[in-house]
Amino acid sequence: MKNKVAIVKCDDYNQKNVDSAVREALNLIGGAGKFIKKNNKVLLKVNLLIPSLPENGITTHPAVIKTLGKIVIENGGIPYIGDSSMWQTNEALDVCGVTKVCKELSCAAVNLESYPPKEIYDPQAKILKKMYVSSLVKDVDVLVTVPKLKVHEMMLFTGAVKNMFGTIPGQNKTLMHKKAPNTREFSELLIDLYSNVTPTFALMDGIINVEGSAGVGLTRKIGVILASENSISLDVVASSIIGYAPEILPLNIAAKKRGFSGTNPDEIEIVGEKLKNVKVVEFKKPPSVIPRMLSTPWLNKLNTIINFIRTDSRPVVEKKKCIRCKICENRCPVKAVKVEKYPIFDYNLCIHCFCCCEGCKVGAIKVKASIINQIIMKAIDKMALK
C-alpha cells in the first residue's frame, strides 16, 4: 500500500481559509479521528526555531497551530503545543504566537526543555545509541510533527523528519552537531532519533515561507498545506515542490538505506491537488554544503570530483547588520566563532553545521559558497530534476 500525502492549496493565513485547508488535508489521509481518541494527550510539536514574528516565514504559523489545536479538542484530545528552540524557547513561544493561541484554546504552551530529559537506548542506532529527549514527548499518546516547509543550509531541506530534532531539549541539540559533524553522520543521527521518536502524523505549513535560508531571509508564497501519516513521504513531496529531487536529500538517502517506506515517489500516492499544480519555479536555495553521500550512478561521478577539490561553503558576516548579540558564539558546537567587534570564524574548526547562520536573529550571518560549489550544486539540481 502506498503512503498517502495530501496537498491542499491555501493562499493566505486567513483563519477560515486555514481551517478549511487543514481539515481537508487531514480528511484526505483518513481524518483526525483516525489518529486522535478521547482523552488522548496530543503534543503538537511545532517549529519555533528562533523568536521570530509569524509573518517572517521562519516558524509554524499560529493560524495553522490554532486549527490543529481546535481539531484535537473536537476529537476529545488534550493538546500540548510547543518546541525546544535553538535559543530562548519561552520568548519564542510568545513572539511566534503560540502563547496567544494556547490562551484562546485553554491549553498548554510547552517549553520542552522544562520537562526532565528521558533516556532512550537503541543498540541498532548508527550514531545516537543513547539519546535524551524531553519526557513529554514519550508521555503523550499522540505525537504530531507540525513543521514549516523550508530549505536548510546543512541538510538542503528541513521538514517533518528534521522537526523532531527539537524534541532534544536545549543546548543538547548543539552538542549533537559536534557528535555528528558532517552531513552524512548528522543525517544518520536524525534517522536514529526519528526511529525512536516517530510522529503519529505530520501536517506541514507551506503557505508563506522563507527562502534561501532556514533562518532569516526573504519570504515566498508557496500556498500549500500538506499532511501524511508518513513523515518521510511528506518531506519527499514537500521538497519536490521547491525543486529538490529525493535522491539528493541527505536525510532521504539515510532513510532509504535503512529500509524506511516512502523514500521513493513510486511509494507515494498524492491526494488532493496535483503536484505539478503547486510546484514553485526557481525557489531560492541556500549555498549548502555539497552532500558527500549521494548514491545514484551519475552523482557518484560527481563525488569523485567533490572529494578531491575544495568545495566548501563558509559562514560570513554582514557587518552592517550585526548587533553583536553573541548568539553565534554561544551556539557554535565547536567554538569556531568568537565575537569581538564582529564575529570572527575559525574555518579550521568549523564543521559547516551553520547553527550560527540559522540562529542569527537579524540575518547578519550568511553562507558563502566557493565558485566550484556553486557550479556543482547547479549541476546536481539540473540533473536530478530531469
State the CATH number of the domain containing residue 351. 3.30.70.20
Q: What is the mean pLDDT of residues 262-285?
A: 94
Rounded alpha-carbon distances, angstroms, from residue 195 to 129, 143, 231, 265, 270: 11, 13, 11, 21, 24
pLDDT band for position 153 (cuts 50, 70, 90): confident
Q: Please write the tens of the pLDDT for every residue from 154-184.
A: 888 999 999 999 999 987 888 898 899 888 8
Q: What is the mean pLDDT of residues 274-300?
A: 70
Rounded distance between C-alpha atoms, residue 263 and residue 242, angstroms: 17
Rounded distance between C-alpha atoms, residue 375 and residue 316, angstroms: 20
Rounded distance between C-alpha atoms, residue 77 and residue 71, angstroms: 9
Q: Give one word for 283, left, alpha or beta, with left for phi > 0 and alpha for psi -120 to 50.
A: beta
In a domain, 361, yes or no: yes
User: What pLDDT does 23 receive?
Assistant: 98
Rounded distance between C-alpha atoms, residue 137 and residue 163, angstroms: 13
Burial 295-311 (b: 16+ CB within 10 A, else e): eeeebeebeeebeeeeb
Q: Rounded to two decimals, what is the model's pTM?
A: 0.90
pLDDT band for position 257 (cuts 50, 70, 90): very high
Tell whether the model's pLDDT for residue 384 goes beyond 50: no
User: What pLDDT does 292 receive?
Assistant: 46
In a domain, 287, yes or no: no
Task: Tell how far CA 98 is from the center of its chain.
Answer: 18
Same domain, 273 and 342: no
pLDDT band for position 281 (cuts 50, 70, 90): confident
Position with higher pLDDT, 72 vs 332: 72
User: What pLDDT does 373 receive?
Assistant: 65
In a domain, 128, yes or no: yes
Rounded distance between C-alpha atoms, residue 126 and residue 54, angstroms: 36
Tell whether the model's pLDDT for residue 109 goes beyond 90: yes
Same domain, 162 and 196: yes
| DSSP three-state, residue 358 | helix
Tell whether the model's pLDDT for residue 300 goes beyond 70: no
Which of 39-48, 164-173, 299-308, 333-342 shows the lowest mean pLDDT across its residues? 299-308
Same domain, 178 and 273: yes
User: What pLDDT does 366 receive?
Assistant: 87
Of 220, 244, 277, which residue constitutes the final position of a domain? 277
Same domain, 244 and 379: no
Cell of 245: 529531487
User: What pLDDT does 293 receive?
Assistant: 45
Same domain, 23 and 76: yes
User: What pLDDT does 98 receive?
Assistant: 98
Tell whether the model's pLDDT for residue 297 goes beyond 80: no
Residues facing 130 on adjacent strands: 121
Q: What is the mean pLDDT of residues 120-138?
A: 96
User: What pLDDT does 294 receive?
Assistant: 47
Q: What is the mean pLDDT of residues 69-94?
A: 96
User: What pLDDT does 361 receive?
Assistant: 85
Tell whether the model's pLDDT for residue 327 goes beyond 80: yes
| C-beta neighbour count of 81 within 10 angstroms | 29
Instruction: Provide the mean pLDDT of the chain.
Output: 90
Position with higher pLDDT, 134 vs 363: 134
What is the percentage of the chain residues whose pLDDT exceeds 70? 89
31 contacts: CB under 8 Å, gap ≥ 6: none
Of 216, 246, 277, which residue constitutes the final position of a domain? 277
pLDDT band for position 301 (cuts 50, 70, 90): low
Position with higher pLDDT, 361 vs 204: 204
Rounded distance between C-alpha atoms, residue 266 and residue 272, angstroms: 17
In a domain, 301, yes or no: yes
User: What pLDDT does 381 receive?
Assistant: 58
Of 218, 246, 277, which residue constitutes the final position of a domain? 277
Would you say how long the chain is, in residues? Answer: 386
Q: What is the mean pLDDT of residues 320-334?
A: 89
250 contacts: CB under 8 Å, gap ≥ 6: 155, 156, 183, 184, 186, 187, 291, 293
Same domain, 63 and 201: yes
**Domain, as residue range, for 320:** 297-384
Tell whether the model's pLDDT for residue 339 goes beyond 50: yes
Same domain, 221 and 301: no
Position with higher pLDDT, 331 vs 141: 141
Same domain, 301 and 161: no
Q: What is the mean pLDDT of residues 12-27?
A: 98
Please tell me the total count of domains within the chain. Answer: 2
Same domain, 107 and 21: yes
User: What pLDDT does 93 receive?
Assistant: 98
Tell whether the model's pLDDT for residue 382 goes beyond 70: no
In a domain, 288, yes or no: no
Q: Answer yes or no: are the C-beta atoms of 299 and 247 closer than 8 Å.
A: yes
User: What pLDDT does 115 receive?
Assistant: 96
In a domain, 233, yes or no: yes
pLDDT band for position 5 (cuts 50, 70, 90): very high
In a domain, 291, yes or no: no
DSSP state of 290: P
Cell of 108: 498548554
User: What pLDDT does 386 receive?
Assistant: 47
Same domain, 346 and 250: no
Same domain, 207 and 322: no
Same domain, 75 and 146: yes
What is the percentage of the chain residues whose pLDDT exceeds 90? 68
In a domain, 7, yes or no: yes
Between vectors from CA 321 to CA 317 and to CA 326, what angle results, nearest 5°? 65
Q: Answer yes or no: are the C-beta atoms of 201 and 30 closer than 8 Å.
A: no
State the CATH number of the domain containing residue 173. 3.40.50.11440
